[in-house]
Structure 1
């Protein structure tokens, strides 16, 4: 960070009861402005415990473990809790002012907090805090305690509704004078107006710090008022009401406290890294391919992180190039993960392992990580082989995080987000359709398949042989792999794109994974440009996607040309182009239209499959074809790729009305930097890695991003990186 910090020396405090906390304004009239110039109240000498700041209080057994008010607690216990809350508000204010060392560790400056929150989040939070403070101020004028608590309850419900509602859908709210006796049951959702929440139009930019300081002062006044003339009201209904109010305030302020605590922890690590190398975090990354770069860059932003990139011998130069910009903080080694001794030697030296190698090799890595109790991150689907490690991972106390790239990954994050929002409002998901494609940008889709490779060509082609299974109108539909391309249909997202879409893998399992048991249609699939499916269909019919070993394609076999390979595969009478074309027409007859087959045959010629060019023999027809495709269909200088992901939800609201909502991610690669595919796969992987290292993601066992506790911090970090999903109602 730019501004130097100071580390506080150990401080000895005398014990001071929080019940003795005083404020300098409890006997004055409540503030009528959100920008008071009153002097700051003097704090108690001892900071509250972190548990009392962020989540709970441990004052007495009469206060519940979650920090709320026990219905059976005495008025004295309640007084103690109120004073603890007041102390918390004062302490947070002083921490924001840079007047205290956060729990006697580091003193955070305004510059630190601005960098931590960043512009969008700080602006949003400033506006919300202003609304909260402006709404609380007039409520302080209410003298009758039950009416006061009732007003707070309604206002906090309105505040929660307002801050959770999609801003584009919000009604414009104007400043309204509060009516104390208004019936709280008159729903603001129904009336179109808020009862106690003030949402004025502010013609100038608010200052976050001044707004937060003032909110803390008003919260102190709010809690002080709980202690005035409430002794005789200490009964069940009143206590329950106060409990609800306290719980909502605690939730708001806990968010701030936890974030400052995380910032302080990061600052401590940064301060100590030059003193104690033991705080360095050592990450082992297996794989140096297309998507590794953004993950490496994200992880090494943190000064305490050190990275070892392990790769196969043939890719060592690629790994060294990846490590080189980071100097001594990143090193490259050659390693065979199937060599148990070498693998164990490396895993044991690191704190976390990232596996970006083929999914069939993940079990080797996970087995070693469990042995040495190291966390693991992959971007792959949870296979049966990975799922089998769940109990062992829990026993070892480690996290094995999977499915955290683009698809799978970002798709899960925003599917779960919308589904949870609908369910929380009492709605249902009737249909969920999700398609994702990694493609060349339209201006660079200049080859017969309309496709170029920004990741493993073998992975792309193997995925084309997968069978598909999904729900459609309440029925299960199954499609065999060899028929998959026949099911591709035009799919409209934007008028400027000519897409086709087809299902992939098993979508039926997402009924449980996404908790949409009510859905009648669930389809997850792939987007491609028109013309792609029929071309692939012919590749399948001809046999070029066969991955069985062939003697004549082994690396030590005699040289062989592409026309010889095709003639042998098709039993063609010769290697002449006309004979090869005729043999392919015969294979594809009845499944491909005449005009389309001619286009495809011209595509075969463009790829050089009718030529006498020698093939790069890689053992199988599939891998040998990959070598040619990677050469012919790679991105040229100045070209860029594109990623498009869209979820489409058919929703039935609580009142029975229906609507359609979409969540769309459109990203383009940087011709002089990372591809869109690399960014949207590698960045989520890097974020998940850092969140595990920081302890934000702490759940143990085999995980995937299907819950808000995992997803929410990843979404927040992704949006800071500029990876944002557009959510719209159609």
Structure 2
């Protein structure tokens, strides 16, 4: 959302004029962010949701011209600076639900504004910024989360966090996979986006980007934790790509194998699913890439290329992760071209006992870019859950209040809505 000055006026696309302060009441949705995922959320809401007004807020100088192309008079735009807290609260008031698709550094601010305004919120990412690792910063975020949760419950509000692809569908699918067994001993959860295998040699890094490049870089510098054979192991930020923290999956759905790396805190799975906390001996959250990714990025990470600590370059502070993102993002070879497809993978591998017998259940969703619409698999698997979640909250399908996540959403309803959009979840036991 950037640093554009706050603008309290709403652009009316149908009349090509500005409407002064004040928004239409009734069944009103406010969507924060109109990037790659946001445009797909908007299209799906127009197609499938019942609303009187949908306000899109973004800082981009050109996005209002783009949303005008929808031709839908219910859709309006406003250029807005998300760091203007009071203005954010004012804009949210009277909405049925707020849909948030912003970088993670803004999510806590948005959540605070939503409960202050007295509106439901659906967010695509973590409310807690995982790039903040210092103890004081972690403690402050935990306190803020507790305050948001408390206020949301007092006001009868739902804050549905982490409801995109990963985080989001990974937790929803894991929750259903866990239910297939009587006793869970192993839960490995995978969330990944990567090029289809034929593109592995399309550029020097064997990878193309479908989401925030700088966030991808930063995610490569976050420590993780995994439970192996009953013992917890911390994975340092510069060790996620080392051989001892890498394993492989053979995926017939894509016609090849992928490398898998520890990504995030496996202990969170025990927190989300308390029923497995006492029985699980192995827990982990992983991302996947095409073969060769680990060998390259292990060196780059250890060399500091994805560090978030500034270095001096000719007297100017430069953040290595931001420099790498800018460099890669400036070259078309690292982005998807016409006819090129990405793959989105969500997989929950659960092992344990069913009726006293050793049992394994694998629930999985694999999607590819839709070449007819041009929407990437990443756009589809983030935006469609966001649209569905927004409608579930707005229509009362989700009744739980406070801060909730995908494990609190009716799975069967979600599954059916995903299938209507061409996203199919499979289950093998």
Q: Classify 1:323/1:540 alpha carbon distance in 2 versus 1 (closer, same or farther; 3 Å).
A: farther
Once the 2 structures are TM-superposed, how far is the Cα of residue 715 of structure 1 from its aligned partner? 2.2
Q: Classify 1:319/1:631 alpha carbon distance in 2 versus 1 (closer, same or farther; 3 Å).
A: farther
Once the 2 structures are TM-superposed, how far is the Cα of residue 435 of structure 1 from its aligned partner? 1.7
Q: Classify 1:553/1:627 alpha carbon distance in 2 versus 1 (closer, same or farther; 3 Å).
A: farther
Is the aligned partner of 1:717 residue 2:413?
no
Q: Classify 1:542/1:648 alpha carbon distance in 2 versus 1 (closer, same or farther; 3 Å).
A: same
Match of 2:225? 469
Once the 2 structures are TM-superposed, how far is the Cα of residue 344 of structure 1 from its aligned partner? 2.4
Once the 2 structures are TM-superposed, how far is the Cα of residue 467 of structure 1 from its aligned partner? 0.8
Question: Within 5 Å, which residues of 2 pair with 1:362-377?
Answer: 362-377=107-122
Once the 2 structures are TM-superposed, how far is the Cα of residue 460 of structure 1 from its aligned partner? 0.8
Is the aligned partner of 1:450 residue 2:192?
no
Match of 2:133? none
Distance (Å, rounded) in 1 between the aligned partners of 2:63 and 2:206:
28
Q: 2:236 aligns with which of 470, 475, 480?
A: 480
Match of 2:248? 491
Q: For 2:76, what is the secondary structure of its paired residue?
A: strand
Note if contact 1:490-1:498 (Cα within 8 Å) is conserved in structure 2: no
Once the 2 structures are TM-superposed, how far is the Cα of residue 659 of structure 1 from its aligned partner? 2.0
Q: 2:390 aligns with which of 679, 689, 708?
A: 689
Q: Classify 1:323/1:695 alpha carbon distance in 2 versus 1 (closer, same or farther; 3 Å).
A: farther
Once the 2 structures are TM-superposed, how far is the Cα of residue 306 of structure 1 from its aligned partner? 2.1
Large movers: runs of 4+ above 6 Å = none
Distance (Å, rounded) in 1 between the aligned partners of 2:262 and 2:269:
13
* CA offset digits 1:359-382 (Å, max 9, x no partner): 221222222222221111101134
Question: Within 5 Å, which residues of 2 pair with 1:395-474?
Answer: 395-422=154-181, 427-445=182-200, 446-474=202-230
Match of 1:309? 56
Distance (Å, rounded) in 1 between the aligned partners of 2:276 and 2:45:
35
Note if contact 2:29-2:53 (Cα within 8 Å) is conserved in structure 1: yes
Note if contact 2:342-2:369 (Cα within 8 Å) is conserved in structure 1: yes
Distance (Å, rounded) in 1 between the aligned partners of 2:323 and 2:71:
35
Distance (Å, rounded) in 2 between the aligned partners of 1:676 and 1:490:
24
Q: Classify 1:512/1:716 alpha carbon distance in 2 versus 1 (closer, same or farther; 3 Å).
A: same
Q: Which has the larger radius of gyration?
A: 1
Paired residues in the alignment total 383
Q: For 2:407, what is the secondary structure of its paired residue?
A: coil
Question: Within 5 Å, which residues of 2 pair with 1:526-605?
Answer: 526-552=287-313
Note if contact 2:126-2:167 (Cα within 8 Å) is conserved in structure 1: yes
Distance (Å, rounded) in 2 between the aligned partners of 1:505 and 1:725:
23
Match of 1:353? 98
Distance (Å, rounded) in 1 between the aligned partners of 2:67 and 2:262:
35
Match of 1:623? 322
Q: Classify 1:420/1:498 alpha carbon distance in 2 versus 1 (closer, same or farther; 3 Å).
A: closer
Is the aligned partner of 1:327 residue 2:86?
no
* CA offset digits 1:3-47 (Å, max 9, x no partner): xxxxxxxxxxxxxxxxxxxxxxxxxxxxxxxxxxxxxxxxxxxxx
Question: Within 5 Å, which residues of 2 pair with 1:31-110?
Answer: none
Match of 1:339? 84
* CA offset digits 1:132-167 (Å, max 9, x no partner): xxxxxxxxxxxxxxxxxxxxxxxxxxxxxxxxxxxx
Once the 2 structures are TM-superposed, how far is the Cα of residue 358 of structure 1 from its aligned partner? 1.5
Note if contact 2:194-2:343 (Cα within 8 Å) is conserved in structure 1: yes
Distance (Å, rounded) in 2 between the aligned partners of 1:690 and 1:664:
24
Once the 2 structures are TM-superposed, how far is the Cα of residue 619 of structure 1 from its aligned partner? 4.0
Q: 2:45 aligns with which of 286, 299, 305?
A: 299
Q: For 2:327, what is the secondary structure of its paired residue?
A: helix
Say which structure is richer in strand: 2
Note if contact 1:353-1:374 (Cα within 8 Å) is conserved in structure 2: yes
Note if contact 2:221-2:307 (Cα within 8 Å) is conserved in structure 1: no
Once the 2 structures are TM-superposed, how far is the Cα of residue 474 of structure 1 from its aligned partner? 0.9
Match of 1:636? 337
Once the 2 structures are TM-superposed, how far is the Cα of residue 293 of structure 1 from its aligned partner? 2.2
Once the 2 structures are TM-superposed, how far is the Cα of residue 323 of structure 1 from its aligned partner? 5.0
Is the aligned partner of 1:516 residue 2:276?
yes
Note if contact 1:490-1:530 (Cα within 8 Å) is conserved in structure 2: no
Q: For 2:204, what is the secondary structure of its paired residue?
A: coil
Once the 2 structures are TM-superposed, how far is the Cα of residue 466 of structure 1 from its aligned partner? 1.0
Q: Classify 1:439/1:319 alpha carbon distance in 2 versus 1 (closer, same or farther; 3 Å).
A: farther
Q: Normalization by structure 1: what TM-score?
A: 0.50
Distance (Å, rounded) in 1 between the aligned partners of 2:50 and 2:328:
40
Question: Within 5 Å, which residues of 2 pair with 1:228-267?
Answer: none
Distance (Å, rounded) in 2 between the aligned partners of 1:530 and 1:524:
19
Note if contact 2:183-2:352 (Cα within 8 Å) is conserved in structure 1: yes
Is the aligned partner of 1:726 residue 2:419?
no
Q: 1:658 aligns with which of 355, 358, 364?
A: 358
RMSD of equivalent CA atoms? 2.2
Residue segments in structure 2 that go unaligned for 5+ positions in a row: 1-22, 129-141
Distance (Å, rounded) in 2 between the aligned partners of 1:551 and 1:325:
46
Note if contact 2:25-2:95 (Cα within 8 Å) is conserved in structure 1: no
Q: Classify 1:658/1:382 alpha carbon distance in 2 versus 1 (closer, same or farther; 3 Å).
A: farther
Note if contact 2:29-2:51 (Cα within 8 Å) is conserved in structure 1: no
Match of 2:136? none
Match of 1:260? none
Note if contact 2:193-2:345 (Cα within 8 Å) is conserved in structure 1: yes
Note if contact 2:111-2:127 (Cα within 8 Å) is conserved in structure 1: no
Once the 2 structures are TM-superposed, how far is the Cα of residue 322 of structure 1 from its aligned partner? 4.1
* CA offset digits 1:647-704 (Å, max 9, x no partner): 11112122x2212221121100123421100100110011010111111112211111
Note if contact 1:399-1:703 (Cα within 8 Å) is conserved in structure 2: yes
Distance (Å, rounded) in 2 between the aligned partners of 1:541 and 1:644:
27
Q: For 2:163, what is the secondary structure of its paired residue?
A: coil
